Structure 1
Amino acid sequence: MMSLCCEVLERLSGKTLVTAESLTGGGIGAALTAVPGSSEVYKGGVISYTNWVKAHVLGVPGEVLETYGAVSAQTAQAMATGVRRLLQADVAVAVTGLAGPGGDAFGNPVGTVFVGYADEKNVQAVECHFSGSREEIRNQTIARALRLVLENAK
């Protein structure tokens, strides 16, 4: 994980990165800040574990949460856009999903994760299906979020 974080921070040199994390509970931020000098790029993040925080802090529209659920591409995109705006950064990555023990009311099984990304020109989300323990799903989510940042870094 450390080498992936180093690569993200190096690739984003001169830019700023923020995070919005649900199921990882700050894991992306923790991984990034384990790298000395990460404050040159990583500004911080919001742990948006509940829908209230997603809506009232990040600005995810209530109709998005009601229509698509917290675990959806639409929510991941809105989380990324919201945290980018809130923390005034160049790049944002957001994660929302189900690490277990159960699925959600929208029919998403454990291991369903959406990773959102936003920069000045691009907003997107990718759907992932991970397996394993709660910790393994969270770690796979962190790695996928960092890889999505790399895929979009110019």
Structure 2
Amino acid sequence: MMEYIDTTTLDKVGQFLKDNQLKVFIGESMTGGFLGSVLSMQTDSGSYFLGGITSYATSVKKSLLQVDEHSISYFTPESSEVTFEMLEGLKKLVEADVYVAITGMAFPDSSTEHQAEVGDIFIAICFSGIHMRKTLHCVDCDAAQIYITAVNHIIHELYRFTLDLDE
């Protein structure tokens, strides 16, 4: 587990996105805007990062990202299924080439029922029409480590997409 953001890989991803004039739009829940902050740290981020929706509250997932109420109640807000619906909702809001959605559990929450456990991370990415869904579990991590793990994993997945498209 890395204790820091992999800015070397972030720079490679950012350069590829800039060089290929690709645009990125994100939807975050668990990370609460951290992913967007990290993406905006890259020097050329203004040429490719459009922004995103922080849908920490379930009501925002439903109203802005059009996540189905049944999915939220059946799968819970922190699930692979809801993350994918967030991704699909992003596509209805803004035209982009790359969409990223993320949910998960970074710390215990006793306010509602959850199927996810602390450390569960759900990611959905659509890169130039190619979809990917991934579930991770960060063992014995605090919230900061879970955030960093999630963001680094997204950066590495985006990098893998760039390698595939560059071939």
TM-score w.r.t. the length of structure 2 is: 0.84
| Residue in 2 that maps onto 1:28 | 35
The percent identity for this pair of structures is 23
User: Which amino acid counterpart does residue 143 of structure 2 have in structure 1?
Assistant: R
> 1: distance between equivalents of 2:85 and 2:121?
15
Cross-structure match for 2:23: 16
Q: Aligned equivalents of 2:69 and 2:158: distance in 1?
A: 27
Partner secondary structure for residue 58 of structure 1: coil
- 1:116 correspondence with 2:124: yes
Residue 128 in structure 1 maps to residue 136 in structure 2 = yes
- Which consecutive segments of 4 or more residues in structure 1 shift more than 6 A? none
Alignment: residue pair count: 154
**Contact 2:15–2:44 (CA under 8 A) maintained in structure 1:** no
- The match for 1:91 is 98
Q: Tell me if the contact between 2:79 and 2:116 (Cα under 8 Å) persists in the aligned partners.
A: no
Q: Deviations over 1:20-78 (max 9, x none)?
A: 11111111111111122211111001101011111110111112111111111111111
Structure 1: runs of 5+ lacking an equivalent: none
CA distance, structure 2, for counterparts of residue 101 and residue 65 of structure 1: 18
1:68 is matched with which residue? Answer: 75
CA distance in 2, matches of 1:133, 1:27: 15
Q: CA deviation at 1:120?
A: 4.7
Aligned to 1:42: 49
RMSD across aligned positions (CA)? 1.7
Secondary structure in structure 1 of the residue aligned to 2:65? coil
For the residue of structure 1 that corresponds to 2:107, the secondary structure is coil
Contact 1:94 1:145 in 2 (8 A): no
Task: Find the counterpart in structure 2 of residue 148 from structure 1.
Answer: 157
Structure 2: 5+ residue stretches without partners: none
Once residues 28 and 135 of structure 1 are traced to their aligned partners in structure 2, the CA distance between those partners, rounded to angstroms, is: 12
SS state at 1:12 partner = helix
Contact 1:25 1:49 in 2 (8 A): yes
Larger radius of gyration: 2
Tell me the residue number matched to 2:108: 101
* Rounded Cα–Cα distance in structure 1 between residues aligned with 2:100 and 2:24: 8
Whether the aligned pair in 2 keeps the contact of 1:84 and 1:118 (CA below 8 Å) is: no
